[in-house]
């Protein structure tokens, strides 16, 4: 089974750049999408429900903002689309598909930077992290859980190209990194880093100017985290920087 996550930075735009081709060639069984930036009704039918795929979407109340989705080859036995707190649910950032005992979440964690390019949204971001943590901690009591998506945090210096100049930037603040550490200390496994512990230059997001992607000046902020029982099933963890169509690239795992 292959599970893939991708922040598409606008699904309608990504669809024009080959999203359908990506789905067909990915050999994925489950694909989690973040930053859909459209309601389900605004999507072309071929994107909303491609042949051979089951889909579930969660949109933000604000048009053209946020949004998550899950595409799966097999129909989920159940889908959760809310955390139960309006302050989070109105931004459309959380969805979980259940396949029997296995739960797979697609989550778009907030940025900490505000409209004024400050760090004013960091408290909201950390509160969202904690709310999701509590939910998935509960889910892992029932069976294996994967939490995939854009976490908007580079955990360690190895996870971004310019750590020294980003010490005060949201995405690499001590309190954000500490929250990631809390997850790992609670038993969640960073599936990619577990298999590539000391390998630098693996990134999942690049700025869209200045040749950042061409020069590989990026950040690893997209993850597939696994509960302990889920991590035992992982055979391979990967990043696909060659896949174009967004300022992020897909990440994923192959599992038994």
pLDDT in tens, 43-90: 999 999 999 999 999 999 999 999 999 999 999 999 999 999 999 999
pLDDT in tens, 245-254: 999 999 999 9
Span 3-7, mean pLDDT? 98
Residue 150 pLDDT greater than 80, yes or no: yes
pLDDT band at residue 115 under the 50/70/90 scheme: confident
Span 184-202, mean pLDDT? 97
For residue 47, the number of C-alpha atoms closer than 13 Å in the C-beta half-sphere is: 22
Task: Provide the pLDDT for residue 244.
Answer: 96
pLDDT band at residue 190 under the 50/70/90 scheme: very high
Q: Per DSSP, what are the bridge partners of residue 104? A: 97, 146
Task: Provide the pLDDT for residue 116.
Answer: 77
Span 203-208, mean pLDDT? 97
Q: Please tell me the distance from the alpha carbon of residue 91 to that of residue 118, in angstroms, as a whole number.
A: 20
CB atoms within 10 A of CB 241: 17
CB atoms within 10 A of CB 121: 16
Span 156-181, mean pLDDT? 98
Q: What is the DSSP string of the chain?
A: -EEEEEE-SSHHHHHHTTHHHHHHHS--SEEEEE---S-GGGS-HHHHS-TT-EEEEE--SSTTS--EEEEESSPPSEEE---S-HHHHTT--EEEEEETTEEEEEEEPPPS--TTSSSTTHHHHHHHHHHHHHHHHHHTTTS-EEEEEE-----SGGGBS-SGGGTTSTTS-HHHHHHHHHHHHTT-EEHHHHHSTT-----SEE-SSTTTTTTT-EE--EEEEE-HHHHTTEEEEEE-TT--SSSB--EEEEE-
Q: How far is CA 200 from the centre of its chain?
A: 20
Task: Provide the pLDDT for residue 117.
Answer: 76
Domains of the chain: 2-255 (3.60.10.10)
Q: What angle do CA 197, 199, 205 make, to 5 degrees?
A: 105
CB atoms within 10 A of CB 148: 27
Residue 175 pLDDT greater than 80, yes or no: yes
Span 203-227, mean pLDDT? 97
Task: Provide the pLDDT for residue 227.
Answer: 98
| Catalytic residue (one of 74, 150, 159, 254) | 150
Among 136, 156, 144, CA closest to 234: 144
Residue 114 pLDDT greater than 90, yes or no: no
pLDDT band at residue 187 under the 50/70/90 scheme: very high
Longest CA span, the chain: 47
Residue 29 pLDDT greater than 90, yes or no: yes
150 carries an active-site annotation: yes
Span 121-131, mean pLDDT? 98
Contact between residue 170 and residue 119 where contact means Cβ atoms under 8 Å apart: yes
Residue 39 pLDDT greater than 80, yes or no: yes
Among 94, 88, 90, CA closest to 106: 94
Task: Provide the pLDDT for residue 137.
Answer: 98
């Amino acid at each position: 089974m292959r599970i893939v996550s991708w922040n598409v930075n606008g699904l309608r735009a990504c669809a024009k750049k080959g999203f359908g081709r990506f789905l067909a060639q990915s050999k994925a069984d489950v694909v989690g999408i973040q930053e859909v930036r459209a309601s389900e009704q605004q999507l072309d039918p071929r994107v909303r429900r491609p042949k051979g795929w089951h889909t579930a979407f969660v949109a933000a109340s604000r048009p053209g903002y946020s949004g998550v989705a899950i595409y799966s080859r097999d129909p989920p036995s159940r889908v959760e689309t809310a955390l139960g707190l309006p302050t989070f649910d109105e931004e459309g950032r959380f969805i979980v598909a259940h396949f029997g005992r296995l739960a797979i979440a697609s989550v778009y964690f907030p940025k900490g930077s505000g409209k004024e390019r400050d760090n004013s949204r960091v408290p909201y971001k950390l509160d969202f992290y904690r709310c999701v943590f509590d939910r998935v901690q509960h889910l892992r009591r029932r069976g294996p859980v994967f939490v995939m998506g854009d976490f908007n945090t580079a955990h360690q210096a190895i996870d971004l190209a310019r750590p020294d100049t980003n010490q005060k930037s949201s995405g690499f603040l001590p309190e954000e990194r500490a929250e990631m550490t809390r997850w790992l200390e609670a038993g969640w496994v960073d599936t990619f880093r577990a298999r590539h512990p000391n390998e630098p230059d693996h990134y999942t997001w690049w700025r869209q100017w200045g040749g950042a992607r061409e020069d590989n000046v990026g950040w690893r902020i997209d993850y597939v985290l696994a509960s302990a029982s889920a991590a035992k099933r992982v055979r391979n963890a990967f990043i696909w920087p060659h896949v174009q169509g967004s300022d992020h690239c897909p990440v994923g795992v192959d599992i038994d």
